[in-house]
A and B are shown apart, each in its own frame.
Chain A
Amino acid sequence: MNLTRRNLLKAGALAAAAAAIPRPLLAQLGRTPEPLPPIDDPRLKALASSALETARAAGAVYADVRLTHSRLRTFWPVYTADDESMEVGVRALMDGYWGFASGPVWSPDEMARLGREAVHQAKVNALGKRRVVELAAVPVVASGNWVMPVAIDPFEISPFEVQDFLTSLDLYCGRIPDSGLQQNFAFAAVQEKAFASTEGSYCTQRFYRTEGSLIVRLQLTKERAGNFAVEGLSPAGMGWELYTAERIPRLREHSLREEIRRGIEELREELLLPVKPVDVGRYDAVLDAPTVASLVDKTLGRATELDRALGFEANAGGTSYLTDPFGMLGSYQAGAPAFTLTAERSEPGAVATVKWDDEGVAPDSFTLVKDGVLTDFQTTRESAGWMKNSYAKAGRPVRSHGCAGAPSAVEAPLQQAPNLTLVPGREAHDFDALVSGTARGIAIKGAGIDMDFQHSSGLGIGRVFEIKNGKRVAAIDSAGFLFRATELWKALHATGGEASLRRYGMMTEKGEPAERCYHSVTAAPVVVKDLTLIDPQRKA
């Protein structure tokens, strides 16, 4: 068969798979290299175990190993680029000090080298002052396998199907007057991961991550122009159905084309509003769901990372405004009584969703802030150990919440953010309803948030509108808002209902060396009182 586009599309999925990289990459599981087996192949377990045996023999009291096989595919309307890699990393604990070694080769020799090197790294520091590590207990997972369920595996379909879909969005947008696509690309990732520990755990998993960037530009006149990013395409634990589904609960209520059309209509209305300058002051503010998600994530989402709260990120991203984590637990008023923030790694479609984390812990659902009061922190096995006394006092078990993660096996696991959810209000309000219910105030859409390095105060810049008698009557030019995290959440006045919840995939950078991981934040639009509106470009 001629290798032409038409023939491939006609022949369908099988032929499409042939158009992909003809693998395999090779692993040396025994004497000779052989094609990469599926991640749950028992020979990989033997390979992983050999790394742990070496680490044990070298003196580790605990060791774990991760093998990852990752594929990335970037789609533009006319082009697809592929990337694939295999990595392995061993972590060893000795005398309260951790060592880590990683590389790109899956072979018995390399497992032995990494096992020895990880212990060597730990030993070298164990010569220093005393350090105690108490790993919270975790049930042994003798053998487990989990595949993230997706409707359409983005690596099993023809890349042309994807390219055609992206091109169709281009064409659709171009037919709407005054509009065009400024950015249009999609991204799919799949990672297979095997985890083994000296406590006898072995589990394998496969995760997907799909995301896209669809930015629509509207140019009504030379002066009145704007753009917006189509909602629902932030990183998700889903497959290609992220683009093609007619409706995805918590992401979008309509097809992508319909979202484009509605977004353009809404932007057109907004661009036709009169424009006013900023009148600096305090206002009741209606914040849309993406703004609330960013605010929640960057304030409490960061502040409740227990390692950060204890200074482990002080030389990098900074510290936490929860300066006395153990003292504040159960008593610190982090927000209004209506403010409850929960965390988990199990929500279908969310991007931090796993069956087991990078320490073999099955994450649980937990509550970070309940009715405004700080009740828990994000933990790994080591940091859960720090909470021992606090948990005992509260009559709770000492267990890791399963937040360990790393982008791939070549990086060491850190405490990474889980999925976060701001519990919705009881009334069925949405953004428009909250605006209708506001006599005088402002509405803020799509704000980007910059926090300070203690995550305690911040600056938001987005599209701001004046509200009068329940309607958006003007756009406010060059506006931003200043806030203090705790004041903001204490001033929470109303929260949208269950139906107005929206989920956003966020990327965070943490650690030295820097690691980029993903998690989802689900939030509804809210009303906060007395938000400080400023002109961010005004100098002193």
Chain B
Amino acid sequence: MRRGDGPARLVESASSARILSKEECDAIARRVIGFARGGGETRVRILSWWNGELRWARNRVSLASDRRDIRVEISRTVGVGRGSVGENQLDDASLEAAVRGAERGAVLSPNILRPPPGMPPLPHATYPRTALWSDATYAVTPETRGEVARALVAPAEAQGMLSAGYLEMRAGSLVSVSSERLTDPYAPWDVPYASWTQAQCSMTVRDAQGTGSGWAGLSGSDWGKIDGVALAARALEKCKASQHPVSLEPGRYTVILEPQAVADLMELVAASMSRPAPENSGAGPWALAPDEALHLWRTKLGLKVLDERITISHDPADPALGILAEPWMQPVTWFDKGVLTNLAFDREYALDQLNVNPGLRGMVGYRMSGGDTSIDEMIATTARGLLVTRFSDIRRLDEKSLLGTGLTRDGLWLIEHGKITKAVKNFRFTESPLFALNAIEQLGVPVPVFRPVKDPYDAQNPLTPAIVPPLKVRDFSFTSTIDAI
């Protein structure tokens, strides 16, 4: 590969090409690999993203934006050394300079990411097609965003309320290649060109005196599946119904958790789904006490840990659950009718401990089973309880029980004798999702929830969809009242 074969000009940023195409990425990767000197392996990861954004507050748009950027990460492994450099320019001079920088790093730093000796050769990797891209999202223009925002704000403004919200359409692309595998098949840590879109729409409606607040939101790859008008109507309705809340005694309550509240609570579980490393065997919620006699650490795999009506799984082919494809990606079930069936692990652990080759993902995207009881039916069959819109500011208190604390937000109502009777002041809860998922009374129909990836530079998991049911749960612990509305 001769230097200077690439374009001497800077990357063209025509407004029609908001992210890098597969051809452009392949060409960049080849140029980078061509600049390498001194042998060894060159890895290059190229990420590009575009955001079309519109934010509003107090019923008026505060900022509309078109933003884009690129990240190129180049690493050179030469002998026992490895160096890496990141930058965001695509011209020859900058890329070559980055390769030189990585080479200097390689001469002078050990390769801390060297795979352990004795790893078996890499088998051929297959990547399933996942539903990441939606033309509908990519095609949305600033004009459309503006019209949508005005339509979402109008009902709130007409009723004297203040609406604040955010619309974002994003597209991104990612490719990760190694000089040792310029053509298919890709190695497990290489990513064949993937492109995705993400759309999100959320709003908070408050009354002018600040005595009530309602929220609704949804995210996903496909803007066509997001009904902004319905979301706006729900946020407005919740705002009106939440005005002038009364104080209630903290305590244990039967709660009806809307799907967003369940998803918020589930983040504590989703973050805990890795197998602990052998030297850390007792850590996390899924370890059993050690068997002192056999000197064995065991996990709760195979044990029933949740209500048998709960199954949490992910099928890469599911059009509603598209995530970045991994090699040999199969459908996986982490909880099967309440039984813990899988925990995530990386390839090293797989080979070392399990004698299998590919790793297994955690709950990047997931579907949770439910039932067919509607929220209205749940309310009608509740003698005394609370209806929760969502939780906020959740933090984990204990890693073994997954006990967490957080706040209710944007709509909390008391139910008495099958009817919503009062708006209630927000509570701080102290509860574990594992406890809650063992105290389920009723389940509703699972629906997609608001779970967007905030950082456009995130190259690990650019989409994190979840489908979650509403749940009625008994004995949910609320430990104090807060004044925040």
- A residues engaging B (CB < 8 A)? 3-5, 8, 19-26, 28, 32-33, 35, 78-87, 89, 97-105, 107, 109-110, 113, 117, 120-122, 124-125, 127-129, 131, 159-160, 307, 310-316, 318-319, 321, 323, 410-412, 450-457, 459, 482, 484, 511-514, 536-540
The CA-CA distance from A121 to B150 in the complex, in Å, is: 14
- Say which residue of B91, B164, B210 sits within 8 Å of A323 (CB atoms): B210
In contact, B85 and A83 (Cβ under 8 angstroms): yes
In contact, A129 and B483 (Cβ under 8 angstroms): no
Given the known inter-chain contacts A453-B409, A540-B250, please indicate yes or no for A311 contacting B91, CB distance below 8 A: no
In contact, A540 and B251 (Cβ under 8 angstroms): yes
CB neighbours (8 Å) of A86 from chain B are 88-89
In contact, B112 and A78 (Cβ under 8 angstroms): yes
A-B contact pairs, 26 of them (CB 8 A): A3-B108, A19-B108, A79-B110, A81-B84, A83-B86, A87-B88, A100-B66, A101-B66, A122-B64, A125-B64, A312-B62, A312-B164, A313-B57, A314-B204, A314-B213, A319-B206, A321-B483, A452-B393, A452-B426, A452-B428, A452-B483, A457-B484, A536-B397, A537-B403, A539-B252, A540-B479
In contact, A25 and B70 (Cβ under 8 angstroms): no
Give, as a whole number of angstroms, the nearest-CB distance from A127 to chain B: 7
> Chain B 110-148, CB within 8 Å of chain A: the 1/0 string?
101000000000000000000000000000001101100
- Say which residue of A22, A33, A128, A482 sits within 8 Å of B97 (CB atoms): A22
In contact, B59 and A22 (Cβ under 8 angstroms): no
CB neighbours (8 Å) of A107 from chain B are 10
Question: B353 at interface (Cβ–Cβ under 8 A)?
Answer: no
- Say which residue of B100, B215, B393, B397 sits within 8 Å of A22 (CB atoms): B100
In contact, A539 and B477 (Cβ under 8 angstroms): yes
The CA-CA distance from A101 to B66 in the complex, in Å, is: 5
Give, as a whole number of angstroms, the nearest-CB distance from B193 to chain A: 20
In contact, A459 and B405 (Cβ under 8 angstroms): yes
Given the known inter-chain contacts A99-B64, A100-B63, A125-B61, please indicate yes or no for A84 contacting B483, CB distance below 8 A: no
A125-B149, A318-B484 provided; 7 other pairs, C-beta below 8 A?
Answer: A25-B87, A81-B85, A102-B68, A120-B142, A450-B405, A452-B426, A536-B405
Of chain B, the residue at the smallest CB distance from A158 is B108
- Say which residue of A82, A103, A319, A484 sits within 8 Å of B67 (CB atoms): A103
Give, as a whole number of angstroms, the nearest-CB distance from A73 to chain B: 10
- Say which residue of B9, B428, B477 sits within 8 Å of A33 (CB atoms): B9
Of chain B, the residue at the smallest CB distance from A107 is B10
Residue among B51, B105, B252, B403 with the most chain A CB within 10 A?
A: B105
Give, as a whole number of angstroms, the nearest-CB distance from A19 to chain B: 5
Given the known inter-chain contacts A128-B61, A540-B430, please indicate yes or no for A456 contacting B477, CB distance below 8 A: no
Question: B480 at interface (Cβ–Cβ under 8 A)?
Answer: yes
> Chain B 49-63, CB within 8 Å of chain A: the 1/0 string?
001011101111111
The CA-CA distance from A317 to B250 in the complex, in Å, is: 25
Given the known inter-chain contacts A98-B62, A127-B146, A315-B203, please indicate yes or no for A80 contacting B165, CB distance below 8 A: no
Question: B233 at interface (Cβ–Cβ under 8 A)?
Answer: no
In contact, B142 and A410 (Cβ under 8 angstroms): no
Question: B482 at interface (Cβ–Cβ under 8 A)?
Answer: yes
CB neighbours (8 Å) of B407 from chain A are 452-453
Residue among B91, B202, B478 with the most chain A CB within 10 A?
A: B91
CB neighbours (8 Å) of A451 from chain B are 393
In contact, A83 and B87 (Cβ under 8 angstroms): yes
Chain B residues numbered 86-102 whose CB sits less than 8 Å from any CB in chain A: 86-89, 91, 93-94, 97-98, 100-101
CB neighbours (8 Å) of B86 from chain A are 81-85
- Say which residue of B68, B108, B454 sits within 8 Å of A104 (CB atoms): B68
CB neighbours (8 Å) of A314 from chain B are 57, 162, 164, 204, 206, 213
In contact, A104 and B109 (Cβ under 8 angstroms): no
In contact, A512 and B166 (Cβ under 8 angstroms): yes
CB neighbours (8 Å) of B143 from chain A are 124
The CA-CA distance from A316 to B164 in the complex, in Å, is: 9
In contact, B53 and A513 (Cβ under 8 angstroms): yes
Question: B15 at interface (Cβ–Cβ under 8 A)?
Answer: yes
In contact, A539 and B93 (Cβ under 8 angstroms): no
CB neighbours (8 Å) of A484 from chain B are 483
- Say which residue of A4, A80, A313, A456 sits within 8 Å of B483 (CB atoms): A456
Give, as a whole number of angstroms, the nearest-CB distance from A455 to chain B: 8
Question: B168 at interface (Cβ–Cβ under 8 A)?
Answer: yes
In contact, A315 and B166 (Cβ under 8 angstroms): yes
Given the known inter-chain contacts A128-B146, A457-B483, A539-B479, please indicate yes or no for A21 contacting B97, CB distance below 8 A: yes
In contact, A21 and B100 (Cβ under 8 angstroms): yes
Give, as a whole number of angstroms, the nearest-CB distance from B89 to chain A: 5
CB neighbours (8 Å) of B392 from chain A are 318, 452-453
In contact, A84 and B428 (Cβ under 8 angstroms): no
Of chain A, the residue at the smallest CB distance from B92 is A26
B interface, how many residues as a size bin?
35 or more
Chain B residues numbered 330-351 whose CB sits less than 8 Å from any CB in chain A: none
CB neighbours (8 Å) of A311 from chain B are 57-58, 162, 164, 206
Of chain B, the residue at the smallest CB distance from A8 is B108
Give, as a whole number of angstroms, the nearest-CB distance from B172 to chain A: 13
In contact, B393 and A87 (Cβ under 8 angstroms): no
CB neighbours (8 Å) of B204 from chain A are 314-315
CB neighbours (8 Å) of A80 from chain B are 105, 109
Given the known inter-chain contacts A127-B146, A129-B60, please indicate yes or no for A113 contacting B13, CB distance below 8 A: yes
The CA-CA distance from A28 to B90 in the complex, in Å, is: 13
> Chain B 391-429, CB within 8 Å of chain A: the 1/0 string?
011010110000101010100000000000000001010
The CA-CA distance from A449 to B124 in the complex, in Å, is: 49
CB neighbours (8 Å) of A98 from chain B are 62-64
CB neighbours (8 Å) of B426 from chain A are 452
The CA-CA distance from A456 to B407 in the complex, in Å, is: 13
In contact, A3 and B104 (Cβ under 8 angstroms): yes
The CA-CA distance from A134 to B10 in the complex, in Å, is: 38
Chain B residues numbered 460-479 whose CB sits less than 8 Å from any CB in chain A: 477-479
Give, as a whole number of angstroms, the nearest-CB distance from A320 to chain B: 10
The CA-CA distance from A321 to B483 in the complex, in Å, is: 9
The CA-CA distance from A512 to B64 in the complex, in Å, is: 11
CB neighbours (8 Å) of A125 from chain B are 54, 61, 64, 146, 149
Question: B455 at interface (Cβ–Cβ under 8 A)?
Answer: yes
In contact, A25 and B454 (Cβ under 8 angstroms): no
CB neighbours (8 Å) of B479 from chain A are 538-540
In contact, B108 and A5 (Cβ under 8 angstroms): yes
Report the 8 A-B pairs with minimum CB-CB distance, sorted nearest first: A454-B484, A452-B484, A21-B101, A83-B86, A539-B477, A512-B166, A100-B65, A121-B64
In contact, B94 and A25 (Cβ under 8 angstroms): yes
Of chain B, the residue at the smallest CB distance from A319 is B210
Given the known inter-chain contacts A124-B64, A315-B164, please indicate yes or no for A539 contacting B70, CB distance below 8 A: no
The CA-CA distance from A536 to B454 in the complex, in Å, is: 30
Question: B293 at interface (Cβ–Cβ under 8 A)?
Answer: no
In contact, A110 and B13 (Cβ under 8 angstroms): yes
- Say which residue of B64, B203, B480 sits within 8 Å of A97 (CB atoms): B64
Give, as a whole number of angstroms, the nearest-CB distance from B409 to chain A: 6
The CA-CA distance from A8 to B11 in the complex, in Å, is: 35
Given the known inter-chain contacts A80-B109, A452-B407, please indicate yes or no for A21 contacting B13, CB distance below 8 A: no
In contact, B101 and A87 (Cβ under 8 angstroms): no
In contact, B150 and A128 (Cβ under 8 angstroms): yes
Question: B155 at interface (Cβ–Cβ under 8 A)?
Answer: no
Give, as a whole number of angstroms, the nearest-CB distance from B7 to chain A: 10
CB neighbours (8 Å) of B66 from chain A are 100-102, 117, 121
Of chain A, the residue at the smallest CB distance from B112 is A79
The CA-CA distance from A88 to B224 in the complex, in Å, is: 32
CB neighbours (8 Å) of A5 from chain B are 108
Question: B485 at interface (Cβ–Cβ under 8 A)?
Answer: yes
Of chain A, the residue at the smallest CB distance from B252 is A540
Question: B431 at interface (Cβ–Cβ under 8 A)?
Answer: yes
CB neighbours (8 Å) of B60 from chain A are 97, 128-129, 131
The CA-CA distance from A459 to B13 in the complex, in Å, is: 48
Give, as a whole number of angstroms, the nearest-CB distance from B114 to chain A: 12
Given the known inter-chain contacts A78-B110, A459-B428, please indicate yes or no for A100 contacting B88, CB distance below 8 A: no
Question: B294 at interface (Cβ–Cβ under 8 A)?
Answer: no
